[in-house]
Structure formats: C-alpha cells, structure tokens
Amino acid sequence: MKLKLLFIISVFFFLKINAQNYIFGKVVSEENIEMTDVTVINIRTDERISTNRDGHFMISGRAGDNLRFIKNGYERFNTMVTAENIESPLNVKLIRMATLIDEVEIKKALTGDLKVDTKNLNPPRKVEKLKKDLDIYIAQKSDPRILAARPGEFVQPKGQGFSIGKVKNKWDDLDLMSYLRSALGEQYFTDLKIEKSQIQHFIYYVFAGGYERQNILKYGYVSDPDLMRFQRAVLVRISSYRAPQTQK
C-alpha cells in the first residue's frame, strides 16, 4: 500500500514538473502596427507557429525556453521565456532591416583639386603641358626679374596719357586674388576651414565656377557689390571644394 502511494505521488510530481504551459503574446512593428504571418519558433521543442492577422500568437513552452521571431524584411528577434510570460502576455516589437541601396555609378566631376581634375579630364601629355605652363606663369608673376629687359634690348618708353598697341586690363587674376585676400582677411578663409597655404587655390576654384570679373580686371577696381558677389560665390563653391593633397 505504501509502495502504491509513493508511486502515485512520484507520477504526480513528474507530470507537474514536465507539464507544458502556453505562451500568449502579440507582435507589432516599430509603428505599433499588428504584424501577421510572423514565424514564432520554440528553439527547445522546434515548434513553429505564425501570428494571426491581429499579430497574436500562442505556442507551448515553459520558463527558460528560447523563442525566436522571424519576418522577412525585419531583424530576427530572440527572447527567453520567464515565469512572468507564462502568467501574462508577451509583447514583441520587430525592427525593420536597413535597406541596402544598389551601387550607383557616378560620373566624374570637378573636385576642386587641380591635379585630380586634370588627370580625370585630360590625357597625361596634356596634363604635363598644363602643369609646366602654369609653373612658368606663376614664376613670371612672382619674379619681376624675368620681365626685365636683357642687356642691349630696346625698351619702348611709356608716358602718361597714351598707350601703344591694344589697351590691356589693369589687373589680372593674381592682382584680383591678392586684393580679395587682403580685403576679406585671412581669418575669413580660416573660418571656412581653408588652410592658409590653400587660400590662393581656393580663390582660383571660385573663379573657375563662373565668377564674372571682366570689368574688375579691365578697370582694376572692386566695388562693394562685386565683393558681395564673390562672397556668395564662395558659399556656393565651398561645399564641393577639395583641397589638393600635398605630397610627402
């Protein structure tokens, strides 16, 4: 009799310990919209069910089970069942996956870096010629001795009130660049994140963007409206400017 009673008690505890409960819950999106056809998997038992049109689900399980929620286009979600989940509904929110954008081929455009732009837009031979011509031009403007007359060479005298040949502009781009740099001050360019060594290159980049300066160069004079036009052109061009990389 005692053995029979002990057997019944053992069976009772075994059934209680291994009894299956049911987990109820609801799955919503980030916008709190009920999600249908979300696959819910109990990893321990491999039981699989789907949420209904209201986002609700019911699956057998117990505390300690691992539930997995899968929906195409959303990040996979895992959660551990607790004793609280047995007594009250389990609410799950799925996060949408980041959409991968196909690679788009972008045609090369001006970068503001003279070396890069000339390499992209011209054959190598033309690049070398352009660089040499630019170096010669800058050297001529920076060293007056190159423009001095050679020994024995005739120099046409110039007087006030007349000129010989075609009338030339009073300024060139270097003169205008020097004036703008002085009028605006180097702090103006520093505030734009332009390094001191790149100020000249940046001003040329603004000129190349279509800054109208024909009358300025002709008369050698910059009016207040001209200065304001330059500052507006700077704001347009600064976003696409890339300073040239110095070689180490």
Last residue of a domain, one of 93, 127, 153: 93
In a domain, 157, yes or no: no
- Please check whether residues 50 and 125 belong to one and the same domain: no
Residue 37: per-residue pLDDT:
95
Q: Within 10 A of 210 (CB to CB), how many other CB atoms are there?
A: 9
Tokens of 176: 């205008």
Residue 211 · residue 233 · CB < 8 Å: yes
For residue 139, the enclosing domain spans: 114-145+169-240
Tokens of 22: 């049911």
**CATH label of the domain that carries residue 78:** 2.60.40.1120
Nearby residues of 56 by Cβ (< 8 Å), 6 or more positions away: 24, 25, 26, 34
Three-point CA angle 246, 175, 185, nearest 5°: 70
- Please check whether residues 120 and 226 belong to one and the same domain: yes
Tokens of 233: 């052109």
- Please check whether residues 185 and 224 belong to one and the same domain: yes
- Please check whether residues 50 and 136 belong to one and the same domain: no
> Of all residues in the chain, what percent carry a pLDDT higher than 90?
47
pTM over cut 0.85: no
Residue 248: per-residue pLDDT:
46
**β-bridge pairing 90-93 and 21-28:** parallel
Residue 41: per-residue pLDDT:
96
Residue 20: per-residue pLDDT:
64
Residue 21: per-residue pLDDT:
85
Collapsing DSSP to helix, strand or coil, 225 comes out as helix
- Please check whether residues 41 and 72 belong to one and the same domain: yes
- Please check whether residues 217 and 120 belong to one and the same domain: yes
Q: Using CA atoms, how far apart are residues 140 and 133, in angstroms rounded to an integer? A: 11
Residue 150: per-residue pLDDT:
59
Q: Using CA atoms, how far apart are residues 22 and 30, in angstroms rounded to an integer? A: 26
Q: DSSP string spanning 87-121?
A: HSPEEEEPPBPPPPPPP--------S-HHHHHHHH
| Domain total in the chain | 2
In this prediction, the residues of the chain whose per-residue pLDDT falls under 70 are 1-20, 99-128, 130, 137-167, 245-248
Residue 167: per-residue pLDDT:
58
- Please check whether residues 212 and 178 belong to one and the same domain: yes
What one-letter code names the amino acid at 214? Q
In a domain, 123, yes or no: yes
Residue 135: per-residue pLDDT:
72
- Please check whether residues 125 and 218 belong to one and the same domain: yes
Residue 132: per-residue pLDDT:
75
What one-letter code names the amino acid at 55? G
- Please check whether residues 35 and 141 belong to one and the same domain: no
- Please check whether residues 138 and 55 belong to one and the same domain: no
In a domain, 175, yes or no: yes
SS3 content of the chain, % helix, strand, coil (to 5): 45, 15, 40
Tokens of 23: 């987990």
- Please check whether residues 129 and 65 belong to one and the same domain: no
